[in-house]
Each structure stands twice: as C-alpha cells, then as structure tokens.
Amino acid sequence: MDRTHDPALQCWIPVAADSDFPIQNLPLGVFRPPGLGPRIGVAIGDQVLDLSALFRAGMFALGAENVFDRDALNDFMSLGPAAWRTVRTTVSQLLDANEKELRDDASLRKESLFARQSVEMLLPARIGDYTDFYSSLEHATNMGKMFRDPANPLLPNWRHMPVGYNGRTSSIVVSGTPVRRPCGQMKPDEAEMPVYGPSRVLDIELEVGFFTGPGNELGTPIPVSETRGHIFGLVLVNDWSARDIQRWEYVPLGPFLGKSFATTVSPWVVTLDALEPFRVSPPAQDPAVLPYLRGEEHGAYDIDLEVWYEARGSEPVRVSATNFKDMYWTMFQQLAHQTVNGTNVRPGDLYASGTVSGSTPGTEGSLLELTWKGTKPLSFPGDVTRKFLEDGDTVILRGAAKGKRYRIGFGECRGTILPARC
C-alpha cells in the first residue's frame, strides 16, 4: 500500500471525521484568496494549502518554473504521472502529523494556508476540448424505452463502443455559478409548428468527468493500456439539459443547443492516485469488445454519488443515490476510443461519463428518469412537487469513495436556475 493511502495517517491540521478532504485525498484546484491573484492549491479539511507558496519555499523539485503560480492546472497536468506523484507524496509528508517542517514554520504556514470558506474557487483548467459520453447501460436503456422501442431500447452500436459527442467548452462553469434557463426552438406535442421560447423541460445529468494530462500527437492513438498515464483526475459534472429543445433538434445531428447552454463542474480535481484503493472491476461486457478496447480489468471506481434537490424556498432533499462503479464503459475505454482515429488530446481536456443511473428506483441520474418523463413528480416538504427544474431551484451533486476510516470526497457541484432571457 502506498503510504499516502494509509488509513492511520493523520494531519496536523484538524480534519473532521466526515470531511471530503482528509490527508488521504489531497485534491487540487485553482483558487483566489482575498485580495490576491489566482493560484493552485490542495484542499485539506476546511483549509486550502497554497502550492505556489510551497514551491517558492523550495518544497518541490520540479524545475525552475513555478507551475502552481497559475490560473489553471494545465501546465502541471502536462508534466505527467511521475510529477503528479512526487507532489502528492511531498504534500502528504508536509501535512503528516509527525512532520514539523511546515507545521512549525509559522511564517510559511501564514503564507500558504487559507480558510476554504474565504477563497473563491475557479475552473480547474483551461478546457480546450470537451467530450460527453453515454456510458451507463441503465440510462441508455431508460432513454431507449421512453423515446424509441421499449422492446429494443439500445441502438445496435451501443454495446460495441463508448458512444459520445464533442461539445462546447465556452459554457462550462465552476460550481456555484447560476445557470440561466435557455431559450430555443421546440415543438410541443400539441403544436402543429415549432415555437420559440424558454425551455419548459429543464433537466440535470449526474456525471463524473476526467481531465487529461500529457496528450498524444495528431494521428497517434493512445492504447487502452497507456490511458492511465494520460488521466490526471476526476470531477463531478452536471450536464444541464433542455429536453424539449433536445428532442426537437437531435435527429439527425445529435446534441446541440439542448446541451450547450451550461455544464457545471466541481472545483476540486481528485487524482487517480487518491482513488487507487477504490479501483474495482467494471461490469462484464457482452458481446466481447474489439481488441483496442480490451484491458484495464480493474478500470472502474467505487464512488457513491448523490443528487440533492432544493426546490425554491425549501430545504435540500436527496432524490437519487447511485454508484459510479456500475458504468458499462470505463474512462480508459472512453479515452482509447476517443483517440483511436488519431485525434489528439491536450492537457486540460474534459471528458464526461454521461448520466450515471442505477437499475432500481431512486438511483437514476436525471429528472427525466426519476419522474419518468414527468408522469411521476417528485414530492418535497410543504406539498411541493417537481417534474422538471423551475426558476429558483438548486441542484447539488455530491460524491465520495468511502473507506473504513476516511472518505475521498469531491465537494459540491452546485447550480441554481435563473429565469430565461427570451
């Protein structure tokens, strides 16, 4: 076992037992302290540790350039797994309750530690490209039953490759950013002609995304056996969806305006090294996939996921609880498939899993499934019901891999709906 995973490891900074950010996690993000510029830090308990300050103090052997004095993680992502692991090990040692180098240096502590509630979190990366997959068997089956043939819900290609599409990056926002209800063209069932206006069927999608590190040259695929060295870490993703706009436009071109108005990501990137103790085998794939997609037998991760819904004026209620380990296609297969035609990957690219849904009621990752196209509204205290999102409603995604004595959490992925501007 890597020492950074030791459940007995304790930090000299007080960390609550139920914290998402114990010393075994050490996720990275971009933050702005009060009155200062952006820089890269690590979440530890309710504090943020400034890595740029530690670099200036000579704590990292990464060369002359301070890759942490940045407004994005891209430069650090580009360094690759050996550098990522070196920084993780060094930070773990500096925060170890038995180590005094940082603990007893009052000046450096003052310069490098900030209360998490006092800082502004920014997008983790400059996202050059964004791909959204469609990798949950249960979600794909539910969608097929609702909109195609209930007896044959999956399209013929679905079990042979990770289906996905390339989306926009300009509208990817960090957790806490309000989401404006989109306007667009749609065709209600009762209308003879399409109409323009605000979406009436606004939805969420509970997803897990990964950021890439070192890329590949154009024309050179990344073999599935090498994809692990190109994945920096994971975030939670809410790929907001205007189902009425999507329904009218998606044939024959696929997702477009119904998806591109907003995608929310959590600010802290949880590394694959932190999640290593929670790696498990994915579901069996039948029929057998083509050779370029084979490998990484333990390519799934046991991560509990939750959707909390705060209807306007009420308290948050958990409406869904599921797990990332049940996804049919793994992130390693997704990246191998993305590059099999030779497309090039760059540091900071974002890849989302697609909606994570389970097989039992209450494990679905979208309102479309939870309410079954609005026929089974969700109930909230005070006789409040919801079929889809209304203005003023807030959705909070949460996730954590849970060990015996600690949890590797992601923090929140939160967004509130604002009225349309049509």
Closest CA to 30 of 41, 20, 43: 41
Residue 314 structure tokens: 């009420």
Residue 311 structure tokens: 């209807």
Closest CA to 311 of 383, 221, 360: 383
pLDDT of residue 332: 97
pLDDT of residue 1: 64
- Say what the pTM is: 0.97
Write out residues in the chain with pLDDT < 70, as ranges: 1
- Which residues belong to the active site? 139
- Three-state secondary-structure class, residue 84: helix
In whole angstroms, what is the distance from residue 367 CA to residue 374 CA? 8
In whole angstroms, what is the distance from residue 248 CA to residue 147 CA? 12
Domains and CATH numbers, the chain: 3-122 (2.30.30.230), 130-418 (3.90.850.10)
- Cβ 54 vs Cβ 18: under 8 Å: no
Query: Which phi and psi angles does 8 have, rounded to 5°?
Result: -80, -10
Residue 11 is given by DSSP the state: B
Q: Enumerate residues 6+ apart whose C-beta is below 8 A from 347.
A: 74, 75, 77, 78, 125, 212, 213, 214, 215, 232
CA angle 210, 27, 402 (to 5 degrees): 85
pLDDT tens for 6-20 read 999 999 999 999 999
Closest CA to 89 of 210, 209, 6, 212: 6
- Containing 50, the helix (H) or strand (E) segment is strand 47-50
- Cβ 389 vs Cβ 203: under 8 Å: yes
Residues in the chain: 422
Q: Enumerate residues 6+ apart whose C-beta is below 8 A from 311.
A: 317, 380, 384, 386, 390, 393
- Cβ 226 vs Cβ 332: under 8 Å: no
- Cβ 277 vs Cβ 341: under 8 Å: no
